[in-house]
């Protein structure tokens, strides 16, 4: 039910609103009318319901801040169309109001801090937001937890919170997640993926790698074990297998600027997996025009909010260090989801 002072009053007097000379059109209340309604209810002892009083209090409390807050959020490209599930402006104001952080946020946006000055390569986004803004940790957590969809495109956890908090971050216009001072910042939370779900490799048997799989009767769907098993065949020519893997990678990930190294040990599935992961992430970054990634832990654990951020030129480093973790790359899932940060 949508609460309003008028509805509360009508409910308490059972719809019998006494006529008044200054009463104009229903719904066009004046200040004097509201005061009369409240006094009438109070005189009759009908303003003792905590829920109704709390609603009135919260409504009145947020009014002084609502205009400035909404104007600031709009300047960060947050508006009624940001997510299909509701008006994100109202949702954010409600989060602030419910946690009694309206004044703290209003004070903060008078001098908001840029992301570039406060962020470390890794840390916890909840801590960063709370520390620089003065918002309660629970408020920061709820903001980071906001998500939705926009015309079938996912708006992931962390995106709207970063736009609402950092002066140099806003929602990207058109394609992309965030505009970070003119650079494309891609936000990925736990179990997100860098590409399409269940993307398959078409006509694999026509690829050289597929022909080798048929020739040596290998049915592995995982690319790492398939290549390793082929490499262990006594009659396998390592150079031919490497060329087959390179050809497959170029076909599956045509935008990648990272190549599989020629000195790779094809008998080691971990090396094959490591190489393919780098190629896959690079392909996504180049295809989408991503300049920075921020990976955020959005799982319901004590690690919620943990993040790390890196340039796309550092993809190989973070894969090697096992900080950037991905699911298994297979013929039926070329773009697996991201592991827990």
Residue 322's CB is within 10 A of a number of other CB atoms, namely 9
pTM > 0.75: yes or no: yes
**3-class secondary structure, 18:** coil
* Contact between 180 and 312 (Cβ < 8 Å): no
The pLDDT value recorded for residue 22 is 45
pLDDT tens digit at each of 341 positions of the chain: 444 555 655 555 455 555 554 444 455 678 778 777 777 777 777 776 666 666 666 666 666 667 899 999 999 999 999 999 999 999 999 999 999 999 999 999 999 999 998 878 889 999 999 999 999 999 999 999 999 987 767 899 999 999 999 999 999 987 779 999 999 999 999 888 898 888 999 999 999 999 999 999 999 999 999 999 999 999 999 999 999 999 999 999 999 999 999 999 999 999 999 999 999 999 999 999 999 999 999 988 889 999 999 999 999 999 999 999 999 999 999 999 988 77
Query: What does residue 78 show for φ and ψ, rounded to 5 degrees?
Result: -100, 125
Question: For the stretch 85-112, what's the b/e string if a residue is b when 16 or more beta carbons lie within 10 angstroms of its beta carbon?
Answer: eebbbebbbebbbebebbebbbebbeeb
**3-class secondary structure, 296:** strand
């Amino acid at each position: 039910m949508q609460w309003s002072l008028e509805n509360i009053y009508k409910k308490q007097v059972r719809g019998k609103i006494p006529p008044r000379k200054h009463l104009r059109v229903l719904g066009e209340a004046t200040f004097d009318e509201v005061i009369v309604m409240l006094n009438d209810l109070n005189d009759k002892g009908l303003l003792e319901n905590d829920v109704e009083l709390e609603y009135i209090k919260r409504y009145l409390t947020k009014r002084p801040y609502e205009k400035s807050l909404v104007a600031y959020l709009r300047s960060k490209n947050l508006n009624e169309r940001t997510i299909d599930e509701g008006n994100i402006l109202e949702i954010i104001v409600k989060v602030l109001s419910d946690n009694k952080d309206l004044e703290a946020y209003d004070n903060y946006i008078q001098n908001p801090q840029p992301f570039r000055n406060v962020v470390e390569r890794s840390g916890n986004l909840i801590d960063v937001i709370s520390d620089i803004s003065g918002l309660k940790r629970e408020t920061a957590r709820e903001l980071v937890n906001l998500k939705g969809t926009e015309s079938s495109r996912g708006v992931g956890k962390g995106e709207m919170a970063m736009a609402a908090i950092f002066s140099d971050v806003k929602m990207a216009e058109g394609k992309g997640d965030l505009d970070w001072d003119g650079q494309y910042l891609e936000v990925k939370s736990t179990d997100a993926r860098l590409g399409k779900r269940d993307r398959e490799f078409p006509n694999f048997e026509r690829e050289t790698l597929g022909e080798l799989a048929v020739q040596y009767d290998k049915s592995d769907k995982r690319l790492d074990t398939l290549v390793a098993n082929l490499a262990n065949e006594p009659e396998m020519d390592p150079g031919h297998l490497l060329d087959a893997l390179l050809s497959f990678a170029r076909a599956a990930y045509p935008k990648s600027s990272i190549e599989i190294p020629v000195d790779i040990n094809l008998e080691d599935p971990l090396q094959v997996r490591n190489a393919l992961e780098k190629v896959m992430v690079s392909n996504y970054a180049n295809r989408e025009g991503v300049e920075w990634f921020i990976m955020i832990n959005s799982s319901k654990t004590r690690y919620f909010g943990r993040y790390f951020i890196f340039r796309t030129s550092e993809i190989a480093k973070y894969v090697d260090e096992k900080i950037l973790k991905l699911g298994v790359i297979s013929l039926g899932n070329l773009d697996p989801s991201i592991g827990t940060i």
